Structure 1
Amino acid sequence: MGFFDFLFSKPVYLEDKFFGQLQWLGDKAQTGYSEGKRIFQPTGQVLEFNISAQKTGPTAAHSAFFQWVEAQYPALCGAAGPLITAEFGKWISGFQIQDFEREFTPTFLSIPANAADPLAEWELAFDTVHDQNHTVTVCFVGATPVYGRVDG
């Protein structure tokens, strides 16, 4: 893809039964990812996501992964809490999470290409009432949080 092709190419949209409308971003080799938004059942709010997938669109494993994150959300948040506390503790002395659901709102989910792999690496990002200018991202391997970072 040349520079002008990149600048003037029309967006490619896909329609998926589970995810709805997705914008596909990738190269001529058909590798890339799709971006979209949908209601996240645990919060009832819109969650943005990207799916590492071919241009043909997401697979059943990708939608199963999203549903798994929804079902496991309370446990995932509980597991991520200590990492978030440690990361915010670098910014706010004595920081403690009192009520995760009120203090952190999920805003972004990355869905891995190998979504059926129980050891796939993926991320979940949150906005927080503690700092409106920063986002907290937790990287997971399977259901285990590996590290957290504060972006902003």
Structure 2
Amino acid sequence: MGFLDFIFGKNEYLQDAFFGKMLFLKDHKIPDNSYFECRRYFTPIKKDIEIAVTSNNLSVSEEQKVFFKKIEKDFDQFVLKIKPVIEDEFRNWKEDFKIIDFKKEFAADYVTIPNLKNKPIHWEISFNSIHDLNHTFTIMMIDFEVEGIQIDG
């Protein structure tokens, strides 16, 4: 064990058949806030995105994998719900803003997958945009409906 491992603890990883190599980030104060980080191919955009999967132990559930697959499968339906929310927020800066081709103008780059024990299900999906390279657009979802938007940058 190296000095940094002694101070900060050794990183724990899970090699999952679906998500691949996942880094476990344990929250010692609130174990239910612990989660895995990984990168995985996201079919709707045809490239890897970052994923955070909530877990208070060294495993992910089959339900979480099914949830991710549903996000991929129903992505176009989510875009229909997300698009007007982003347009409304963007119009605070640019009055006549309109998204012409969502998939060319916005790219998903991060998804959170909760533990799925609590209902309703709160999760997030974040996008980068060609319209503003300095900001990330995070859509907060409840089940499969848009709850709100947060813009960071």
Query: Contact between 1:14 and 1:21, CA under 8 Å: does it hold in 2?
Result: yes
- The 8 Å contact of residues 114 and 122 in structure 2, kept in 1 or not, is answered as yes
Structure 2 residue aligned with 1:51, among 42, 50, 53? 53
Letter in 1 for 2:82: A
TM-superposed CA distance for 1:93, in Å, is: 2.1
The equivalent of 1:60 in structure 2 is: 62
Whether the 8 Å contact between 2:22 and 2:37 is mirrored in structure 1 is: yes
Residues 121 and 138 of structure 1: is their aligned pair in 2 closer, same or farther, counting only changes over 3 Å? same
Q: CA deviation at 1:27?
A: 3.6
C-alpha separation in 1, matches of 2:50 and 2:132:
20
Instruction: Output one character per residue of 1:55-91: Cα deviation in whole Å (capped at 9) or x when no partner.
Output: 2211001100100000010000111111111111112
TM-score of the pair, normalised by structure 2: 0.89
RMSD of the alignment, in Å?
Answer: 1.9
TM-score (normalizing by structure 1): 0.90
What does 1:1-150 correspond to in 2, within 5 Å? Answer: 7-28=7-28, 31=32, 32-114=34-116, 117=119, 119-150=120-151
CA displacement at 1:5 relative to structure 2: 7.6
Unaligned runs of 5+ in 1: none
1:6 to partner: Cα distance? 8.4
Percent pairwise identity: 30
How far did residue 10 of structure 1 move?
1.5
Which residues of structure 2 form unaligned runs of 5+?
none
